[in-house]
Amino acid sequence: MEDFFAGVVDRWPPGQEDYHWHALPGPAAVRECLSGQYRELTHRPGLASVRDQWMHITVQHFAPVTRISAGEIEQITGLVRERCAGIAPFAVTAGRAEAWHTGVVCPIRPGPSLRHLWHVTTTTADQVTAGAWETRPRVYYPHLTLAYAHDHVDHGPMRAWISDSSAAEVALPVTRLALVAQQHDRREITFRLIDEVPLTGSTT
């Protein structure tokens, strides 16, 4: 496992706020369930565990806050709100944690509903900014990170711990999209809420 922050620092330096669209993982009890059962794993040397209040499922990493005008962000959020008006809340499952290349990650499934939200946010951003910003991620596979590597960490002992663990999958409700201004300090990712887009469509 290698340093996550080293891989993003050139395009997203420490202290720089970038707009992100997130699905946030629900009530405090849900977040505690996710983090609590992996605490022994995520607090190892070389890992920076994600505190419960900063847990998130990234839908889109957009652009630096200082490079997008207030008018553009207002137009983007308005269009996203319109395009999400018919989308009903849905549930996803956070699978058992895995040791990925740069962190401890719970894959999220099924992917299609979140991938549709990714399509809405990325195409809206392209429309409003005339494609000025790279679509990130290029291929969307939803996941929730429990800890980021900030140094080299041996996968082997971590994968052994996971294989012996009785940690359960966790159901997550997705009821809204959150637009946040997000930054990191090469150890922790934090964000401030800018706007929310509720999913209010009918399930019938």
User: pLDDT of 147-204, one tens digit each?
Assistant: 999 999 999 999 999 999 999 999 999 999 999 999 999 999 999 999 999 998 876 5
| Range(s) of the domain holding residue 22 | 4-198
Task: Answer whether residue 94 is part of any domain.
Answer: yes
Q: How far is CA 192 from the centre of its chain?
A: 14
Task: Answer whether residue 203 is part of any domain.
Answer: no
Tell me what pLDDT residue 203 has. 67
Number of domains in the chain: 1
Task: Answer whether residue 69 is part of any domain.
Answer: yes
Task: Answer whether residue 168 is part of any domain.
Answer: yes
Position 43 confidence tier, pLDDT thresholds 50, 70, 90 = very high
C-beta separation of 199 from 175 below 8 A: yes
Task: Answer whether residue 42 is part of any domain.
Answer: yes
- If one counts every other C-beta atom within 10 angstroms of the C-beta of residue 97, the result is 25
Q: The domain that contains 52 carries what CATH number?
A: 3.90.1140.10
Task: Answer whether residue 204 is part of any domain.
Answer: no
Task: Answer whether residue 54 is part of any domain.
Answer: yes
Q: Is the dihedral of CA 130, 136, 137, 140 positive or negative?
A: negative
Instruction: State the maximum Cα–Cα separation within the chain, in Å, rounded to a whole number.
Output: 52
pLDDT 10s digits, 92-107: 999 999 999 999 999 9
Task: Answer whether residue 59 is part of any domain.
Answer: yes
